[in-house]
Amino acid sequence: MQTQKSKALPPGPNRLEMLKILYQVKTSGTGPAFLKLREDYGDIIFLPIFNRYVIFDPKDIKHVLKDNKKNYLKSNTIEFVKTFLGEGLATSDGVLWKKQRRNVGKEFHRASIKHYTPAMIKLAKKYVNKWGEGNSQIDVSQELLDLTFDIACEVFFGIESGVQTEKLRDAFVICADMAVTRGRALIPLPNFMMKNKLAEEQKALETMDNIVFDIIKLHEQGGGSDDNVLTKLLQYTDEETGEKMSQKQLRDELITVLVGGFETTCNALIWTIYLLASNPDSYKKVEAELDKQLDDDNVGMDQLMGLPYLTQCFQESMRLYPPFPVLSRRNLESDSIAGYGIAPDQHIYIMPYVTHRDPEYFENPGAFNPDRFSRDQKINESGIAYLPFGEGQRKCIGENFAMIEGITLLAIILRNFHFELVPGFEPEPKFSITLYSANGMPMKISKR
Ligand code: HEM
């Protein structure tokens, strides 16, 4: 730490210029607005009004997420999602987080995930058959949201899609909207201004709790299927304390993996299909690989793991459109980043969307070039330039799950259908909890 010698505040727009930036965010999107900020002010900036630092340089990101990780907790912005995620893995810190990472983490090791691929394959085939019934155009984003939600419910909770999952999804949408509203407000909104919304949120939380606690009870009494995350979590006793997970903790972890697991993966899939439809050469290579490797009636892990080019396309898509677009941290003690003194308890944002387009690390960064991820490339050698799943101790526990789910669904979907962009359609990338297309993703489909 060199705070004495460090410079004061990093450069950045003043309060008046911030209004212009907010306008740019609204008109051209958060990603391009922040790319411009980096171009104008450099690798670290300070945003007045919000009182936030934003760091873009891969070496500084490595400092925060890895080298000096003990000094950084999740930022207070996480409080907005705590209303519905509770104290699950993504929102807790300290001793509780460590214990939960140990226990929940086990269920997401590569070896455990193979139990879940049959459910992924079954549901992907169900959707593909549905699309085959006379459709020539679908909204890929809507369909994939439904598909990934169904997979999450079956794999995490052991429940099939139906009235219960629909209610859970509606409740989730209300709670997530409220979290985003709270997160975006420059000053905390007084409760009287949000009376109706708060009542709606309260009802949604109750619905969510009732459903999840009912499912837990069913599994405790021996009902429900065996191959799901909930059954496994019910069996664990913590290796250090010998304790079982409480019902409340189970509820928080299940909602956390449900929320963490479905929208992110879904958006990664949507952007991959969009980028392939926009890049015919890469698309042809993907289809050739699938035709060689996959037999319609026999899709198993062995075939799915033999799809290196499709995997590279998925990785490259998460570079251009990182599904989890903003990471935030808070420092416990003072620190120095890029020569600037950071007082204790500051909020620091990391934006993979901008860092993933750093020309020093990615040649021609705006282009879709899956070959960047061929085996011999070492992208994160000197700093963390590629971090769709985060890095360091809080790195995504679902990375293996998401990669396997992503490749499985893409393989089955792209083997069965060819996708084309609807002429004149331009997606509007929007930063929220995930990076999604605000106007959906309508696409023409034809059976292959
Ligand atoms: C393409 C899909 C996914 C992406 C891009 C993604 C991205 C991320 C990122 C960037 C973080 C770190 C956040 C931070 O450091 O502040 C994270 C954490 C997390 N993710 Fe994912 N995720 C994906 C899929 C999943 C899946 C499938 C699950 C569940 C099975 C999951 C569960 C979690 C959890 C529980 C955490 C918190 C870990 C901790 O704090 O210890 N994610 N994810």
d(CA 304, CA 124): 13
d(CA 293, CA 71): 47
Position 144 in a domain = yes
- Looking at residues 324-347, what average pLDDT do you find? 94
Nearest atom in ligand 1 to 402's CA: 27
Q: Is 325 in the pocket of ligand 1 (CB under 6 A)?
A: no
Position 128 in a domain = yes
Position 402 in a domain = yes
- Name the residue range of residue 363's domain: 15-447
Q: Is 401 in the pocket of ligand 1 (CB under 6 A)?
A: yes
Which has more confidence, 397 or 106?
Answer: 397
Positive or negative torsion for Cα 216, 218, 221, 227 = negative
Per-residue model confidence (pLDDT) at position 424: 95
Nearest atom in ligand 1 to 156's CA: 30
d(CA 379, CA 362): 9
Q: Is 389 in the pocket of ligand 1 (CB under 6 A)?
A: yes
Nearest atom in ligand 1 to 88's CA: 35
H-helix or E-strand spanning residue 48: none
- Count of domains for the chain: 1
Position 7 in a domain = no
223: burial class by Cβ within 10 Å (0-12, 13-18, 19+)?
Answer: exposed
H-helix or E-strand spanning residue 436: strand 435-437
* Cα–ligand 1 centroid distance for 398 (angstroms): 6
Asked whether 427 and 441 are in contact (CB, 8 A), the reply is yes
* Cα–ligand 1 centroid distance for 394 (angstroms): 8
Q: pLDDT tens digits, residue range 12-43?
A: 999 889 888 888 888 889 999 999 999 999 99
Q: Which of 390, 367, 370, 224 is nearest to 311 (CA)?
A: 370
* Cα–ligand 1 centroid distance for 6 (angstroms): 34
Q: Is 262 in the pocket of ligand 1 (CB under 6 A)?
A: no
Q: Out of 100, 324, 433, give the residue to mutate to test ligand 1, the one with the largest number of ligand atoms within 8 Å of its CB.
A: 324
39: burial class by Cβ within 10 Å (0-12, 13-18, 19+)?
Answer: exposed
At 2, is the pLDDT very low, low, confident or very high (cuts 50, 70, 90)? Answer: very low
The CATH code of the domain that includes 132 is 1.10.630.10
Q: pLDDT tens digits, residue range 118-145?
A: 999 999 999 999 998 887 999 999 999 9
In this prediction the pTM is 0.94
Nearest atom in ligand 1 to 329's CA: 16
Q: Which of 393, 88, 103 is nearest to 236 (CA)?
A: 103
Position 268 in a domain = yes
Position 292 in a domain = yes
DSSP string, 357-371: T-TTTSSSTTS--GG
Q: Is 317 in the pocket of ligand 1 (CB under 6 A)?
A: no
Distance of CA 103 to the CA centre of its chain: 21
Residue with tokens 């990780």: 69
Q: pLDDT tens digits, residue range 285-321?
A: 999 999 998 876 667 777 887 899 999 999 999 999 9
Position 3 in a domain = no
Per-residue model confidence (pLDDT) at position 1: 43
For 159, what's the count of Cα atoms within 13 Å in the CB-facing half-sphere? 22
* Cα–ligand 1 centroid distance for 190 (angstroms): 31
What are the backbone dihedrals phi and psi of residue 298, each rounded to the nearest 5 degrees, phi first?
-135, 85
What are the backbone dihedrals phi and psi of residue 7, each rounded to the nearest 5 degrees, phi first?
-75, 165
- Looking at residues 380-392, what average pLDDT do you find? 92
Cross-strand bridge partners of residue 336 = 341
Position 305 in a domain = yes
